[in-house]
Structure 1
Amino acid sequence: MPRGFKPLVVDGRFVTIESTNPATGAVVDTFDAESAAERDERIELASETFEEWRETSVERRQRLLSAAADVLREGRDEYAELMSREMGKPIGQAHAEVEKCAWVCEYYAEHAAEFLQDEVVASDPDARTLIAYQPLGPVLAIMPWNFPFWQVFRFAAPNLAAGNVGLLKHASNVPGCARAIEDVFHEAGFPEGTFQALLIGSDEVDDVIEDDRLAGVTLTGSDGAGRAVAETAGSELKKTVLELGGSDPFVVLEDAPMERTVETAVQARLLILSAEYSLG
């Protein structure tokens, strides 16, 4: 169970989630977990919104992503402080994370149309053969706490640009970040239901993946979490993208400046904290 997460469980399900500051133990905020009925309503809204969003021009999607970048920069201090309170990120790193999220929105705002163009391929003289990029539908993103904004935006920006809609199951110690990200897209002018946060427990994830209205799922987390998600998604023949944990060897050559090498190694290890609690 991640630090900063205090669930109240009644009859086997989360009722409220207390977000607590890991440095002080003080309660940051309290959130109501979604009931099964509320979860179903959000999935239905995502499904309905997708039918509209998939027909929205890529140019409008790009404009809305650009607006999301503006919202992020306008609220930079607020979002950075929220990250620091909920999961303990140093404030300087938190500011940088917000800026990186604004950058990725701007990147797809600039390049989405180019990336989504049909690609004509060689074929018989009497045929026209091409590769076309079509949106899938609602996609569930299961994200970790260590980069609570960036991990979400690097999923959300390209998927929204491509015409998909997003459902976020964030780590349970950063519910405030999950709601704040949902609000960013709302304030930027995205249609209601284009991107929603689900405040649910890990035991409810399989139900979401198995829902016929869901088209795919992506996870950043541990090998164990990846296996569980891949097994469920595979049984439903749904597309998955998994980024799983691991520790690569750190090779130090004889001519390396040892003091700088040690400092770099320590910083790198801390920056890629294990996301083993991403389903938390």
Structure 2
Amino acid sequence: MTPKQIRSVLKVVEVGSVNRAAEVLHLAPSSISAQIRELSQELGVALFDQVGRRIVLSRAGQGLLPDFKRFHALTQDIEQQARSVSHEAVGELKLFAPSSMCIYRLPPLIEALQKTAPQLEVTLTHEPFDYQAALHNREIDAAILVSQYEDEQWENHPLMDESVIYVCHPDRHQNKKLSLEELQREPLITTEPGCSYRVVAEGHFKTQGLTLKPRQSFSNVEVIRRCLLANMGVALLPRCVVAEDLQRGDLVGQAVEGAPYGFRSMLVYPKGMKVLPKLGALIECIYGDNKNIL
């Protein structure tokens, strides 16, 4: 079993055909097919099934796919470590972050990282995405989360205290603290189901015997912000998303009983994972001379 064989299998899975995988990897299709055939013979199982003109992972291939991904990630780590003997941060740093962090927290941190590690490429993925599986399978190096608690399965590096508030257009604002019953009468806009902000708000409503029933929900906080500027409702958002709008008076925080909700943004990765120079460079930006940029 070789890294090239595993890379070819994963690329065929990703792009859906041998020909497209060959184009991406700059190899002949016959070379990709030979690598897959040799790996199948070595393992004693067919990795792909022919379905019409397409090939799809066989049942055995599906079962082995997580291990293939871990093998590929380990190979990349070894290559990265070999290139980083001089402790230079090089290669690709793959991160997950919610859209609020991608847009409003990470840009200055990435800018600082580019100055200290100019050979490092940062790739960001945002929701919807199963970041936990991706971390365990080494498909990403780390994740930026917004949570009220530290999860014991991760190494946690706190970034910022984050206040999650109810906010609306000035024309909709009520100059009093709303009860949840009163808030419920407004057209509510929230993030997608399962988002940490929404889960906490749902729990808050439940303590009052109510059910949070948003009129609209979006995975992208910038879409929600645009809805607020168009006076489409009251939304639940991290303060950092609307800080400039609040300062200009384009939006207004709406006081609500039991709110705002306290969160913390943090960098996380699996406990016991070896921290390569590329991730170490990001951690250094968080705690080093650039720690005040957030």
Question: Normalising by structure 1, what TM-score?
Answer: 0.27
Greater Rg, structure 1 or structure 2?
Answer: 2
